[in-house]
C-alpha cells in the first residue's frame, strides 16, 4: 500500500500550510480521532459545492482498493479515476444510489481551539456532529501500474464543513486504516496516579534536579500562581506552599524550567522596545528565590498572548513554543542560542519533522539535549492534545525524528499537556484535563524507554 506523495491538481486550495491541499500528502495525521484540523485539506466549496483532487504516488502499483479519509461529515466521494501511466484517467468507482459511507463519532472534541482557556485560531466554528469516516472503494477488478488517482467530491450531499486527511491505495481488500505511532516501550506502562495538590486546577509543573521539590502552577479563578511541595521519606508530597516571590505578576505565573541553581519563570510583560519576551531568570538560593535578569530574545515576535519554554542545563540554548511568521501552522517549537547572560539570538523553527500544521506546546528538553517531550494536537493520537517524544538527529537542531505517541495509558480523549520527566527518580509528570478540572498525574517510566539511546 502507499499514501499520496504529491498533489498534481486541486480544484481549490487554501495554501501549502494549514488547511491546504498538501495536508493530504502522506499517511493520515488526524485519524483515527477525526475532527476539524488544520492538518487536513479544507476545500473552498466544502459546504455545498463540487471539488476534485489529483494525487500521485511514489511508485506504480496494482490497485484493488482506494481509501479516502474524510475528517468531517464523510460520504461525499462520488467518483474515483486512475491513471496507469498514459496521462488519461479511467473511471474505476462511482457512488451508487443510496450508498452510505460508514462513519463514527469523533473522539476529538468538536472544538479543540481552546487549551486551558487560551483561545487558539481556527478556520470556522466546529460542528456539533463531526461524523468522520473512511471511503473504502473496493474495485471490481484490480488495475495494474497505477501512478495517480483522481477523486471527485459533491459536498452538497451532506450539510456542514468537510475535510480530507489522506488518500491511500492498496492491492488488497483489507480496509486501510490509520495507526497511531506508539513506541513499543509505551504499550505496557502502569496506570498514572493523581498527585495530591489540594484539588487545585494544575496548569504545569517542574521538579528540581534532585527530585525533592515539586513546583506547579495552579489557577484559583483569579490568576495563575506557583506553589511548591517537598517529598517526604515515604515518597508523598507535602502540603503545597504558595511561592509569593514567584507569583507577583498579574497572570501567567509559570515555572518553565528548573535546575538546582536557576529557574525560568513566565508572566512578565512582553516589551518589543526593550526586547524582553515575558520571561525572567530566578536564582535558587536554598529555597529562596532571587529575581535576576529578564530574558531577551532578538527580534522576538509571537502572534499569541501565551508561550512555553525549556532550556538546556547550561542555558546555552532555549526552546520556545510560539506562533510566528515562520510557523508550520499554529504554535511551533523554535530554538535560539545564548549570546550573553540573559540575551539570546533569533528564534529558528525546529522543522517539519517535529512541527505540524496544528499546535506544538509545553516542551521539556531532557539532560541529554537530544530528547524532547511535548504536547501536540497535530499528529494521529487518542484525543485532543497528546504527549509525544522526539529525538534530535543532528547538530542543526532542525532535524528531529517522527514524534512518538506515549500511548493510551497516558493519552486519552481530553488533553494531556505539560510533560516533565524527573530523570533522577524516573517519573513522568503531566497534566490531564477533564470536563471539570485539570489534575497533575505521575507514573513510573524508565529512562531507557524515554531518552535517546
In this predicted structure, what is the pLDDT of residue 113? 41
Q: Give the torsion sign (CA, 128, 134, 140, 144).
A: positive
From start to end of 95-162, where are the E strands?
114-115, 118-119, 133-154
Q: Worst-scoring range by mean pLDDT, 12-21, 118-127, 280-289, 374-383?
A: 118-127
pTM here is 0.91
In this predicted structure, what is the pLDDT of residue 103? 84
Around Cβ 249, how many Cβ atoms within 10 Å?
A: 18
Q: What is the 3-state secondary structure (H, E, C) of 83-100?
A: ECCCCCCEEEEECCCCCC
Confidence tier at 35 by pLDDT (50, 70, 90): confident
Q: Worst-scoring range by mean pLDDT, 114-118, 195-199, 223-227, 238-242?
A: 114-118
Q: Cell numbers at residue 264, please?
A: 525560568
Task: Read off φ and ψ for residue 22, nearest 5 degrees.
Answer: -65, -15
In this predicted structure, what is the pLDDT of residue 97? 84
Pair 310, 364: CB distance under 8 Å: yes
β pairing state of 254-258 and 276-285: unpaired
Q: What confidence tens digit (pLDDT) does each residue in 146-193 have?
A: 999 999 999 999 988 899 999 999 999 999 999 999 999 998 999 999
DSSP 24-76: GSSS-SSTTT-S--TTSB--TTTTT-EEEEEEEEEEEEEEEEEEEEEEES---
Pair 418, 362: CB distance under 8 Å: yes
Pair 234, 244: CB distance under 8 Å: no
Sole residue written with cell 524527573? 422
Q: Worst-scoring range by mean pLDDT, 39-48, 156-165, 218-227?
A: 218-227
What does each C-alpha distance from 237 to 60, 197, 205, 215, 421 come to in angstroms? 60, 9, 13, 11, 16
Range 286-310 average pLDDT: 90
Range 252-281 average pLDDT: 89
Contacts of residue 273, defined as CB under 8 A and 6 or more positions apart, other chains included, come to: none
- Host H or E run for residue 207: strand 201-207
Q: What confidence tens digit (pLDDT) does each residue in 54-69 have?
A: 999 999 999 999 999 9
In this predicted structure, what is the pLDDT of residue 129? 52
- Host H or E run for residue 333: strand 332-340
CA distance 209 to 10: 53
In this predicted structure, what is the pLDDT of residue 274? 80
Range 75-92 average pLDDT: 97
CA distance 419 to 412: 15
Q: What confidence tens digit (pLDDT) does each residue in 334-359 have?
A: 999 999 877 999 999 999 999 998 99
Q: What confidence tens digit (pLDDT) does each residue in 98-155 have?
A: 788 888 776 555 444 433 333 344 444 444 557 899 999 999 999 999 999 999 999 9
Confidence tier at 328 by pLDDT (50, 70, 90): confident
Q: What confidence tens digit (pLDDT) does each residue in 361-383 have?
A: 999 999 999 999 999 999 999 98
Domains, in order of start, for the chain: 2-170 (2.60.120.260), 184-450 (2.115.10.20)
In this predicted structure, what is the pLDDT of residue 143? 98
In this predicted structure, what is the pLDDT of residue 108? 53
Q: Cell numbers at residue 270, please?
A: 512582553
In this predicted structure, what is the pLDDT of residue 114? 35
In this predicted structure, what is the pLDDT of residue 116? 36
In this predicted structure, what is the pLDDT of residue 192? 96
Amino acid at each position: 500500500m502507499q499514501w499520496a506523495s504529491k498533489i498534481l491538481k486541486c480544484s481549490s486550495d487554501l495554501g501549502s500550510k494549514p488547511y491546504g491541499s498538501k495536508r493530504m500528502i502522506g499517511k493520515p495525521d488526524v485519524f483515527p480521532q477525526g475532527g476539524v484540523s488544520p492538518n487536513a485539506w479544507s476545500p473552498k466549496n466544502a459546504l455545498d459545492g463540487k471539488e476534485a483532487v489529483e494525487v500521485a504516488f511514489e511508485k506504480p502499483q496494482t490497485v484493488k482498493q482506494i481509501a479516502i479519509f474524510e475528517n468531517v461529515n464523510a460520504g461525499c466521494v462520488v467518483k474515483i479515476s486512475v491513471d496507469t501511466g498514459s496521462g488519461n484517467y479511467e473511471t474505476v468507482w462511482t457512488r451508487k444510489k443510496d450508498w452510505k459511507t460508514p462513519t463514527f463519532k469523533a473522539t476529538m472534541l468538536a472544538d479543540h481551539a481552546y487549551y486551558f482557556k487560551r483561545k487558539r485560531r481556527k478556520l470556522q466554528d466546529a460542528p456539533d456532529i463531526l461524523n468522520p469516516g473512511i471511503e473504502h472503494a473496493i474495485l471490481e477488478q484490480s488495475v495494474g501500474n497505477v501512478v495517480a488517482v483522481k477523486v471527485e467530491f459533491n459536498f452538497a450531499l451532506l450539510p456542514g464543513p468537510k475535510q480530507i486527511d489522506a488518500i491511500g491505495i492498496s492491492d488488497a481488500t483489507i480496509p486501510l486504516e490509520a495507526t497511531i505511532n506508539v513506541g513499543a516501550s509505551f504499550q505496557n506502562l502502569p496506570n498514572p496516579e493523581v498527585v495530591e495538590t489540594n484539588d487545585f486546577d494544575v496548569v504545569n509543573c517542574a521538579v528540581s534536579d534532585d527530585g525533592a521539590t515539586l513546583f506547579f502552577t495552579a489557577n484559583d479563578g483569579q490568576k495563575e500562581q506557583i506553589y511548591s511541595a517537598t517529598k517526604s521519606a515515604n515518597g508523598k508530597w507535602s502540603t503545597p506552599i504558595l511561592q509569593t516571590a514567584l507569583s507577583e505578576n498579574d497572570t501567567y505565573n509559570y515555572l518553565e524550567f528548573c535546575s538546582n541553581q536557576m529557574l525560568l519563570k513566565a508572566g512578565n510583560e512582553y516589551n518589543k522596545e526593550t526586547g524582553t519576551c515575558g520571561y525572567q531568570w530566578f536564582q535558587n538560593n536554598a529555597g529562596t528565590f532571587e529575581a535576576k535578569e529578564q530574558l531577551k530574545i532578538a527580534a522576538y515576535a509571537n502572534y499569541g498572548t501565551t508561550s512555553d519554554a525549556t532550556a538546556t542545563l547550561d542555558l546555552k540554548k532555549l526552546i520556545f513554543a510560539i506562533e510566528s511568521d515562520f510557523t508550520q501552522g499554529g504554535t511551533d517549537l523554535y530554538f535560539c542560542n545564548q549570546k550573553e547572560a540573559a540575551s539570546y539570538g533569533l528564534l529558528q523553527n525546529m522543522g517539519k519533522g517535529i512541527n505540524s500544521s496544528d499546535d506544538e506546546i509545553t516542551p521539556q528538553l531532557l539532560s541529554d539535549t537530544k530528547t524532547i517531550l511535548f504536547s501536540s494536537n497535530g499528529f494521529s493520537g487518542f484525543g485532543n492534545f497528546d504527549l509525544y517524544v522526539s529525538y534530535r538527529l543532528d547538530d542543526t537542531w532542525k532535524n528531529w525524528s517522527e514524534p512518538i505517541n506515549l500511548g493510551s495509558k497516558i493519552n486519552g480523549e481530553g488533553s494531556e499537556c505539560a510533560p516533565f520527566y524527573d530523570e533522577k527518580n524516573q517519573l513522568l509528570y503531566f497534566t490531564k484535563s477533564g470536563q471539570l478540572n485539570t489534575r497533575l498525574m505521575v507514573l513510573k517510566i524508565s529512562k531507557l524507554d524515554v531518552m535517546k539511546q
